[in-house]
Amino acid sequence: MTLIDPIKLAVFRSMYESIAEEMGTALQRAAFSPNIRERLDFSCAVFDAEARMIAQAAHIPVHLGSMPASVKAAVAAFDQLYPGDIVILNDPYAGGTHLPDITMVSPVFHGERLLFFAASRAHHADVGGMSPGSLPLSTELYQEGVIIPPIKLAERGALNQGVLTLLTANSRGGDERIGDFEAQIAAQRIGAARMLELSERYGAEPCLTYASALMDYAERMTRKMIASIPNGTYAFTDYLEGDGQRDYDIPIRVTLTVAGDGLSVDFTGTSPQTAGNLNAVQAVALSAVVYCLRLIVEEDIALNAGSFAPISLHIPEGSLLNPRFPAAVAVGNTETAQRVVDVVLGALAQALPDRIPAASQGSMNNITVGGSYQGKPFIYYETIGGGHGASLEGDGLSGRHSHMTNTRNTPIEALETSFPIRVLEYSLRENSGGDGQFRGGMGITRRYAFLTDTTATLNTERRRLAPYGLGGGEPGHVGQNRLKRAEGAAWIGLPAKWTDMLHPGDQLSIETPGGGGRGTARQNSAKENLTSP
């Protein structure tokens, strides 16, 4: 048995993570679209030859928790891979999340021996489908864009130009798509080169030994954390607000069973799969569960394959979180994943009442717009931050992304430079956080004006059902979507899921939810919601 040097273990962890970070830096710098370049809607990680995740960069939780399934699908699709190959895929039913999230996987060989994989996932602003931005109010996967099964984008270092042409021909804004594809390809090549350099410098066996040791360590620490939760069964239910086809409450129910250092997660009681686009594949639900456990780990441990080992997951087939192909899934990983976090944390709050915060805004507030301006197509997608839930350590943060997203808001200057859109207001929603001993963070108001005919689509949540407070804290304020036509003076309320054509001078206002409060409000307190963004 090889003795593991803890200092070397820490060094190897840093080296593996730095490779993923370097991949991300290259992808960001080379990308064309503001969605990748400014919002940082991408993730990178490295895997061993068995497609087990070794390390990740500090990117997007919903990408990184589900990416192992994509890497396994990429490996399983081919009898043989070669140095210089790049496998590309986006199929949600083969480890993806939704179609705009395109994953690339590169094998890394030392001599003739396959040692590692480098992988990246980036949200491309459009991959076709029935509306610009490829997040339509869909009823089947085919309406959401081009479906890419695991195929080789490059073989032995030679790019398959036909595949790239096919993908860009079926996407809006072809020049931007090509730029983003080339940026992601560059990131793949950097990741593969760095992993090869690592194995040549330290030797293949030490690299593999310490990769496995990192996974073992992550599993031990995750089990230690689970063992700190009181044994028992904890259940919680929360709801989504309609699927874009009809307005009704869609339950997500979880039952957590803690037994020693193992955790059983059962989603029995969750809604059957919906007609609309809120369905989420199992990999997304698993990502949310692992993310929640990471929130309560006090030690700084790597997230890798070992983090998943102590978890037993059960999701009924044909349900919202385990749909049957070709169910629509466009916003399953943006909106549904956020609610999975809310229900898992709601259950954990029963076991750890002093450690779990109130609900955060519970939505990514997706807005996609597209059209043509001065003879050129444009596509724009962004998510908008909101209020964090308060904890017993203090007020929730305001105007920030939370939980399953880790992107930035697009800077106004970048948005207005790139698109025929003007931002008329970008502010915090005063007093939108829930009251309590500690108040929830405030949401955001972001108001747009459009300079040309534009198709807009909103996929949002928490417009009827507020983010919950805990321990006597009040719920956060619900969000609100509104439209004012150029020829009208009145604002019109919009549903949580909506799509329509906008015209020059029309304004769209997105007011995002505040976070829930924590603890009973102090008597005679004049405390104001002044949490900094």
The residue out of 219, 245, 266 marking a domain boundary is: 219
Please report which confidence band the pLDDT of residue 61 belongs to, taking 50, 70 and 90 as the band edges: low
What mean pLDDT do residues 151-162 have?
Answer: 96
Please report which confidence band the pLDDT of residue 302 belongs to, taking 50, 70 and 90 as the band edges: confident
What mean pLDDT do residues 339-353 have?
Answer: 97
Q: Do residues 2 and 12 lie in contact, with contact meaning Cβ atoms separated by under 8 Å?
A: no
Integer Cα distance of 457 and 379 in angstroms? 12
Say whether 188 sits in a helix, a strand or coil.
Answer: helix
| Whole-number average pLDDT of the chain | 93
Within 13 Å, how many C-alpha atoms sit on residue 431's CB side? 3
**Token pair for 503:** 């015209």
Other Cβ atoms closer than 10 A to 109: 19
Q: Which amino acid is at 365?
A: N
Phi, psi of 5 (to 5 degrees): -80, 120
Report yes or no on 140 lying in a domain.
yes
Q: Is the pLDDT at 73 greater than 80, yes or no?
A: yes
% the chain with pLDDT above 90: 87
Integer Cα distance of 53 and 65 in angstroms? 9
| Predicted pLDDT of residue 155 | 96
Integer Cα distance of 104 and 134 in angstroms? 19
The pLDDT tens digits of the residues spanning 376-396 come to 999 999 999 999 999 999 999
What mean pLDDT do residues 9-30 have?
Answer: 96
The residue out of 189, 219, 249 marking a domain boundary is: 219
Strands across the sheet containing 249-259:
232-241, 249-259, 262-266, 311-314
Report yes or no on 364 lying in a domain.
yes
Integer Cα distance of 470 and 520 in angstroms? 9
Phi, psi of 125 (to 5 degrees): -65, -20
**Token pair for 272:** 């059957």
Report yes or no on 238 lying in a domain.
no
Q: Is the pLDDT at 406 greater than 80, yes or no?
A: no
The residue out of 219, 235, 269 marking a domain boundary is: 219
Report yes or no on 108 lying in a domain.
yes
Please report which confidence band the pLDDT of residue 532 belongs to, taking 50, 70 and 90 as the band edges: very low
Report yes or no on 299 lying in a domain.
no
Enter the pTM of the model. 0.93
Beta bridge partners of 56: 45
Within 13 Å, how many C-alpha atoms sit on residue 11's CB side? 9
DSSP assignments along 261-291, one per residue? TEEEEE-TTPPBPPSSTT---HHHHHHHHHH
Strands (E), 306-432: 311-314, 366-373, 376-382, 421-428
Q: Do residues 403 and 291 lie in contact, with contact meaning Cβ atoms separated by under 8 Å?
A: yes
Report yes or no on 32 lying in a domain.
yes
Please report which confidence band the pLDDT of residue 1 belongs to, taking 50, 70 and 90 as the band edges: low
| Predicted pLDDT of residue 528 | 43
Total structural domains within the chain: 2
Within 13 Å, how many C-alpha atoms sit on residue 216's CB side? 9
**Domain of 464, in residue numbers:** 357-533
Integer Cα distance of 283 and 94 in angstroms? 10
Please report which confidence band the pLDDT of residue 410 belongs to, taking 50, 70 and 90 as the band edges: confident
- 60-74, 98-112, 224-238: which has the minimum mean pLDDT? 60-74
Report yes or no on 533 lying in a domain.
yes
Report yes or no on 349 lying in a domain.
no
**Token pair for 408:** 């930035």
% the chain with pLDDT above 70: 96
Whole-Å CA distances, 289 to 18, 59, 226, 345 = 25, 17, 12, 9
Question: Helices 174-202 and 204-227 sit at what angle, rounded to 10 degrees?
Answer: 100
SS3 of 458-527: EECCCCCCCCCCECCCCCCCCCEEEEECCCCCCCEEECCEEEEEECCCCEEEEECCCCCCECCCCCCCCC
